[in-house]
Amino acid sequence: MTSIQAIILAIVEGLTEFLPISSTAHMKLTNPIIGVQSTPFSDMFEIVIQLAAILAVVVVYYKKFFDFSRIQFYIKLVIAVIPALIFGALLKKHIDSMLGNLYVISGVMIAGGILFLFVDRWFQHPSIEHENQVNNGTAFRIGCYQVLSILFPGLSRSAATIIGGMSLGLSRKAAAEFSFFLAVPTMLAATVKSLMDLHKDHPEALNTSNLSLLGMSSIVTFIVSIIVIRFFIGFLKKHGFKIWGYYRIIVGAVMLILLWRGII
């Protein structure tokens, strides 16, 4: 992987991680287009640069993450991440198989896009406007929705948790913010697991050159993620999901065409 390739992937990750358009689908689409081959390092790279996205969430919402007097906030995040940890461990082989199937990912992109065209009509009367109104039971159920993004790559973790939150009575803003918060323990766990596996099975991949690529790319992802997080809340409140639905359908269709033509 070259520096240019790494920067492009970092930008893609930063742009797509918190939008309901599936960072997984975009990374799987971008890799072959820019000539990145699948290797233990490149697979790990896609996960580890999410750590920079985590830091972006923590920085944007630093008052909430570092207000240690609100222990309930941390408890809710721990409760919400439990389903993903359990299913991620139990279904690792299924997940790895699905991640390698671009037809499945593109199909899920299109199906999710069609769903998005109608979401705004379904949840018009939220009862929860702020994160502190989310109780432990609701947090756990949102965490269960997050599992759907593990079972169906291309669905989008943020899409699953935001729509799941809205179905449980959260407003768009509250659902999006809780999705951001939940991303921190979820992606941190995925990053640690990925690094441990790579160190165990392919320690040679963690050489100085690759670590430098990771560091440079993480900075890029961090900056882009901060911009996206600040932009997305206001955009979602004003415009809803329909535009993302059309976008997902177009990208999913493009992926299918490129697959049929053997380009990716």
What is this structure's pTM?
0.87
Q: CA–CA separation, 209 vs 223, rounded Å?
A: 22
> How many domains, in total, are found in the chain?
1
pLDDT of amino acid 147: 93
The contacts of residue 80 (CB under 8 Å, 6+ apart) are: 139, 140, 142, 143, 146, 178, 182, 185
Determine the Cα–Cα distance for residues 189 and 153; give it in Å rounded to an integer: 18
Residues 219, 220, 224, 225, Cα dihedral to 10°? -50
What's the confidence (pLDDT) of residue 167? 93
- Per DSSP, the three-state class of 128 is strand
pLDDT of residue 262: 83
For residue 170, which phi and psi values (nearest 5 degrees)? -80, 145
The predicted structure's pLDDT at residue 67? 87
Q: pLDDT per position in the chain (264 positions), as tens? A: 899 999 999 999 999 988 899 988 998 889 988 998 888 888 878 878 888 888 899 999 999 899 888 899 999 999 999 999 998 888 777 777 777 789 999 999 999 999 999 988 888 888 898 888 999 999 999 999 999 998 898 999 999 999 999 999 999 889 999 999 999 999 888 888 877 877 787 777 778 888 888 899 999 999 999 999 988 888 887 888 899 999 999 999 999 999 998 877
